[in-house]
Amino acid sequence: MRTIGTLAALAVALPPVAATGQSMTPMRGEVRSFTDAFAVRVFPGNPYDQRIRVEVHVYDQDFQPIDARITPSVFLLAGQASRPVLVVVPFDGASERKVRICTESIPFPSEQTQIRAQICGKFFGHRRS
């Protein structure tokens, strides 16, 4: 519980600016954490007038998935809206970790050639002892 509180506090320390029409903000960030994980709060946005299904994924520098805690990881987002998503990334024993947090959506599914829009932010976590 205490760890979660600390992580949440660290997430708030980032300067997120939730603006309608942004697909994800912020897209860059550096976080210092005193725990075995670091947290980032991102704001996926829906630039369309229609509701879309949004997924948030976390990858390493080689685009391999990372087992991070994403809350929520899949959700429906109303048109022209944005919402906060909390991502908690474990250091996995390392003293620092670079990750990509990606917001993905396929706004027009069920067509022959679909385009998946993916907005990725780069985040750098440092572990302080």
* CB of 95 vs another protein, minimal distance in Å: 24
Q: Scanning residues 35 to 54, which ones bind another protein (CB under 8 A)? A: 45, 47-48
Residue pointed to by tokens 């007038």 = 49
Helix (H, G, I), strand (E, B) or coil at 23: coil
Residue with tokens 């506090």: 9
Residue selected from 7, 40, 99, 121 as contacting another protein according to rule CB under 8 A: 121
Residue 57, Cα to own-chain centre: how many angstroms? 7
Residue 28 as a binder of another protein (CB under 8 A): the answer is yes
Minimum distance from CB of 48 to another protein (Å)? Answer: 7
Measured CA distances, 102 to 1, 19, 34, 56 (Å): 27, 17, 25, 6
Position 129 contacts another protein (CB under 8 A)? no
Which residue among 32, 98, 116, 126 contacts another protein (CB under 8 A)?
A: 116
Look at the block and give the residue holding tokens 């429906």: 76
Contact present, 74 and 53 (Cβ < 8 Å): yes
Q: How many residues touch another protein (CB under 8 A)? A: 29
Site for another protein in 44-103 (CB under 8 A): 45, 47-48, 100, 102
CA separation for the pair 47, 81 (Å, rounded): 7
- Binders of another protein in range 7-26 (CB under 8 A): 21-26
**Which residues contact another protein (rule: CB under 8 A)?**
21-28, 45, 47-48, 100, 102, 104, 106-108, 111-122
